[in-house]
Chains A and B, each alone.
Chain A
Amino acid sequence: MTGTVFDIKEFAIYDGPGVRQKVFFKGCPLHCSWCHNPEGLCPAPELWVSTASCMNCGGCQSVCPSGKWDDAHIRAADCTGCGKCIDICPAGIRRICGQRYRPEELADRLLKRSGYYAELGGGVTFSGGEPLLQASFLMALTVLLPGIHKAIETSGYAGSDTFAGVLAHMDYVIMDIKCISDALHRSYTGVSNRRILRNYRLLRESGKPHTVRIPLIGGVSHTVENLTATAELLAGDPTLDWVELLPYQPAAGAKYRQVGREYGQTFDVGKNPAESVEIFEKYRLRCRVL
Chain B
Amino acid sequence: MTERIRKMRKFYIEDRAHRAFRRPPLDWEKLLDLPVFMEQSDLEKVTRVFEIMLERELPVIFPEERLPLLRTVVNFPYFIFGQTVRGRKIHENGMLSNICVDYSRLLSCGLDQKLTEIEARLTELARNPGENAGQIEELSAMRRHLAAILGLCERYRRHALEKGNRAVSDVLSRLPGKPPETFQEALCMLRILHYAMWASGAYHNTLGRLDQLLYPYYQKDIAGNRLTKEEALELLEEFFLCCNKDSDLYIGVQQGDNGQSVVLGGRDRNGVSQYNELSELCLQASLELRVIDPKINLRVDSNTPTAVYELGTALTRTGLGFPQYLNDDVNIRALTDWGYALEDACNYSAAACWELIIPGKGMEIPNVGGLSFAGAAQRAIRNHLEECADFESLLTFTKAEIQTEADALCADTAGITILPAPLHSLMMSGCLESGRDVTQGCVYNNYGLHGAGLSTAADMLAGVERFVYQEGRVTKAGLLDALDRNFSGCDRLFHLLRYDGPKMGRDDRANEIGASLLEMFADSLEGKRNDRNGIFRAGTGSAMFYIEFSKNLPATADGRHAGEPIPANYSPGLFARCDGPVSVVTSFARPGLSRVANGGPLTLELHDSMFRNPEAISKTALLVKSFVRLGGHQLQLNAVNRDQMIDAQKHPENHRNLIVRVWGWSGYFIELDKEYQDHIIARCEYTSADA
Complex: chain B residue closest to A37, CB-CB: B691
Task: Report whether B496 and A87 are in contact in the complex, using a CB–CB cutoff of 8 Å.
Answer: yes
Shortest distance from the beta carbon of B334 to any chain A beta carbon, whole Å = 25
For the complex, what is the distance from the CA of A14 to the CA of B619, rounded to whole Å? 9
Task: Report whether A92 and B498 are in contact in the complex, using a CB–CB cutoff of 8 Å.
Answer: yes
Shortest distance from the beta carbon of A148 to any chain B beta carbon, whole Å = 15
Shortest distance from the beta carbon of B612 to any chain A beta carbon, whole Å = 7
Task: Report whether B495 and A116 are in contact in the complex, using a CB–CB cutoff of 8 Å.
Answer: no
Residue B492 contacts which of A7, A15, A88, A113 (CB distance < 8 angstroms)?
A: A88
Task: Report whether B691 and A7 are in contact in the complex, using a CB–CB cutoff of 8 Å.
Answer: yes
A residues in contact with B581, CB < 8 Å = 10-11
Task: Report whether A12 and B689 are in contact in the complex, using a CB–CB cutoff of 8 Å.
Answer: yes
Within 8 A of B (CB), among A90-129: 90, 92, 113, 116, 119-120, 127
Shortest distance from the beta carbon of A16 to any chain B beta carbon, whole Å = 11
For the complex, what is the distance from the CA of A40 to the CA of B688, rounded to whole Å? 18
Binding site for A on B (CB under 8 A): 491-492, 494-496, 498-500, 575, 579-583, 586, 610, 612-613, 615-616, 619-620, 622-623, 626, 686-691
Residue A13 contacts which of B575, B579, B688 (CB distance < 8 angstroms)?
A: B688
Shortest distance from the beta carbon of A151 to any chain B beta carbon, whole Å = 13
Which of A18-26, A160-168, A259-267 binds B? Answer: A18-26
For the complex, what is the distance from the CA of A92 to the CA of B499, rounded to whole Å? 7
Shortest distance from the beta carbon of B45 to any chain A beta carbon, whole Å = 54
Task: Report whether A10 and B580 are in contact in the complex, using a CB–CB cutoff of 8 Å.
Answer: yes
Task: Report whether A11 and B612 are in contact in the complex, using a CB–CB cutoff of 8 Å.
Answer: no
**Contact (A90, B494) CB under 8 Å given A10-B582, A113-B582, A290-B612:** yes
Is A59 in contact with chain B by the CB < 8 A criterion?
A: yes
**Contact (A12, B688) CB under 8 Å given A19-B619, A119-B626, A120-B622:** yes
Is A8 in contact with chain B by the CB < 8 A criterion?
A: yes
**3 nearest A-B residue pairs (beta carbon):** A10-B580, A9-B689, A12-B689
A residues in contact with B499, CB < 8 Å = 92
For the complex, what is the distance from the CA of A237 to the CA of B687, rounded to whole Å? 32
Complex: chain A residue closest to B579, CB-CB: A10
Task: Report whether A116 and B612 are in contact in the complex, using a CB–CB cutoff of 8 Å.
Answer: no
B residues in contact with A120, CB < 8 Å = 619, 622, 626
B residues in contact with A89, CB < 8 Å = 491, 495
Shortest distance from the beta carbon of A120 to any chain B beta carbon, whole Å = 5
Complex: chain A residue closest to B500, CB-CB: A87
Of the candidates A11, A14, A120, the one having the most CB atoms from chain B within 10 angstroms of its own CB is A11
Task: Report whether A127 and B582 are in contact in the complex, using a CB–CB cutoff of 8 Å.
Answer: no
**Contact (A15, B586) CB under 8 Å given A59-B491, A88-B491, A120-B622:** no
Residue A14 contacts which of B492, B583, B616 (CB distance < 8 angstroms)?
A: B616
Shortest distance from the beta carbon of A58 to any chain B beta carbon, whole Å = 11
For the complex, what is the distance from the CA of A285 to the CA of B689, rounded to whole Å? 26
B residues in contact with A10, CB < 8 Å = 579-583, 686, 689
CB-defined A-B contacts under 8 Å, sample of 23: A7-B691, A9-B689, A10-B583, A10-B686, A11-B582, A11-B623, A11-B686, A12-B688, A12-B689, A14-B612, A37-B691, A40-B691, A87-B492, A87-B500, A89-B495, A90-B495, A92-B495, A92-B499, A119-B626, A120-B619, A120-B626, A127-B691, A290-B613
Task: Report whether B580 and A288 are in contact in the complex, using a CB–CB cutoff of 8 Å.
Answer: no
Complex: chain A residue closest to B619, CB-CB: A13
Within 8 A of B (CB), among A31-85: 36-37, 40, 59
Complex: chain A residue closest to B498, CB-CB: A92
Shortest distance from the beta carbon of B6 to any chain A beta carbon, whole Å = 25
Binding site for B on A (CB under 8 A): 7-15, 18-19, 22, 24, 36-37, 40, 59, 87-90, 92, 113, 116, 119-120, 127, 288, 290
A residues in contact with B686, CB < 8 Å = 10-11
Task: Report whether B495 and A87 are in contact in the complex, using a CB–CB cutoff of 8 Å.
Answer: yes
For the complex, what is the distance from the CA of A113 to the CA of B580, rounded to whole Å? 12
For the complex, what is the distance from the CA of A259 to the CA of B630, rounded to whole Å? 39
B residues in contact with A37, CB < 8 Å = 691
For the complex, what is the distance from the CA of A11 to the CA of B575, rounded to whole Å? 21
For the complex, what is the distance from the CA of A31 to the CA of B587, rounded to whole Å? 39
Of the candidates A12, A13, A127, the one having the most CB atoms from chain B within 10 angstroms of its own CB is A13
Shortest distance from the beta carbon of A110 to any chain B beta carbon, whole Å = 12
Q: A7-B691, A12-B689, A92-B498 are in contact. List 16 more A-B contacts (CB 8 A).
A: A8-B579, A10-B583, A10-B689, A11-B582, A11-B623, A13-B689, A15-B689, A59-B491, A87-B495, A87-B500, A88-B492, A89-B491, A90-B494, A92-B499, A116-B582, A288-B613
A residues in contact with B623, CB < 8 Å = 11, 19
Of the candidates B495, B619, B691, the one having the most CB atoms from chain A within 10 angstroms of its own CB is B691
Complex: chain B residue closest to A93, CB-CB: B499
For the complex, what is the distance from the CA of A11 to the CA of B583, rounded to whole Å? 10
Complex: chain B residue closest to A119, CB-CB: B626
A residues in contact with B492, CB < 8 Å = 87-88
Complex: chain A residue closest to B686, CB-CB: A11
Complex: chain B residue closest to A128, CB-CB: B691
For the complex, what is the distance from the CA of A89 to the CA of B622, rounded to whole Å? 38
B residues in contact with A288, CB < 8 Å = 613
B residues in contact with A14, CB < 8 Å = 612, 616, 688-690
Complex: chain B residue closest to A251, CB-CB: B643
A residues in contact with B687, CB < 8 Å = 9
For the complex, what is the distance from the CA of A273 to the CA of B499, rounded to whole Å? 41
Task: Report whether B626 and A92 are in contact in the complex, using a CB–CB cutoff of 8 Å.
Answer: no
Shortest distance from the beta carbon of A121 to any chain B beta carbon, whole Å = 8
Task: Report whether B691 and A24 are in contact in the complex, using a CB–CB cutoff of 8 Å.
Answer: yes
For the complex, what is the distance from the CA of A155 to the CA of B567, rounded to whole Å? 41
Complex: chain A residue closest to B495, CB-CB: A87
Complex: chain A residue closest to B613, CB-CB: A288
Task: Report whether A88 and B689 are in contact in the complex, using a CB–CB cutoff of 8 Å.
Answer: no
Of the candidates A10, A18, A89, the one having the most CB atoms from chain B within 10 angstroms of its own CB is A10
For the complex, what is the distance from the CA of A15 to the CA of B689, rounded to whole Å? 9
Complex: chain A residue closest to B687, CB-CB: A9
Shortest distance from the beta carbon of A150 to any chain B beta carbon, whole Å = 16
For the complex, what is the distance from the CA of A245 to the CA of B494, rounded to whole Å? 45
Task: Report whether A11 and B616 are in contact in the complex, using a CB–CB cutoff of 8 Å.
Answer: no
For the complex, what is the distance from the CA of A7 to the CA of B687, rounded to whole Å? 13
Task: Report whether A13 and B498 are in contact in the complex, using a CB–CB cutoff of 8 Å.
Answer: no
Complex: chain B residue closest to A129, CB-CB: B691
For the complex, what is the distance from the CA of A90 to the CA of B486, rounded to whole Å? 13
**Contact (A11, B498) CB under 8 Å given A37-B691, A116-B586:** no
Of the candidates A14, A15, A40, the one having the most CB atoms from chain B within 10 angstroms of its own CB is A14
For the complex, what is the distance from the CA of A24 to the CA of B613, rounded to whole Å? 23
Complex: chain B residue closest to A116, CB-CB: B582
Shortest distance from the beta carbon of B309 to any chain A beta carbon, whole Å = 12
B residues in contact with A9, CB < 8 Å = 580, 687, 689, 691
Shortest distance from the beta carbon of B564 to any chain A beta carbon, whole Å = 12
Task: Report whether A116 and B691 are in contact in the complex, using a CB–CB cutoff of 8 Å.
Answer: no
For the complex, what is the distance from the CA of A19 to the CA of B306, rounded to whole Å? 14
For the complex, what is the distance from the CA of A120 to the CA of B306, rounded to whole Å? 11
Of the candidates B492, B495, B615, the one having the most CB atoms from chain A within 10 angstroms of its own CB is B495
B residues in contact with A116, CB < 8 Å = 582, 586, 626
B residues in contact with A127, CB < 8 Å = 691
For the complex, what is the distance from the CA of A116 to the CA of B579, rounded to whole Å? 15
Task: Report whether A22 and B613 are in contact in the complex, using a CB–CB cutoff of 8 Å.
Answer: no
For the complex, what is the distance from the CA of A78 to the CA of B500, rounded to whole Å? 27
Shortest distance from the beta carbon of B559 to any chain A beta carbon, whole Å = 9
B residues in contact with A19, CB < 8 Å = 619, 622-623
Shortest distance from the beta carbon of B561 to any chain A beta carbon, whole Å = 9
A residues in contact with B690, CB < 8 Å = 14, 36
Shortest distance from the beta carbon of B314 to any chain A beta carbon, whole Å = 15
For the complex, what is the distance from the CA of A59 to the CA of B491, rounded to whole Å? 9
B residues in contact with A59, CB < 8 Å = 491
B residues in contact with A87, CB < 8 Å = 492, 495-496, 500
For the complex, what is the distance from the CA of A24 to the CA of B586, rounded to whole Å? 23
For the complex, what is the distance from the CA of A290 to the CA of B579, rounded to whole Å? 24
For the complex, what is the distance from the CA of A22 to the CA of B691, rounded to whole Å? 9
Shortest distance from the beta carbon of B473 to any chain A beta carbon, whole Å = 11
A residues in contact with B688, CB < 8 Å = 11-14
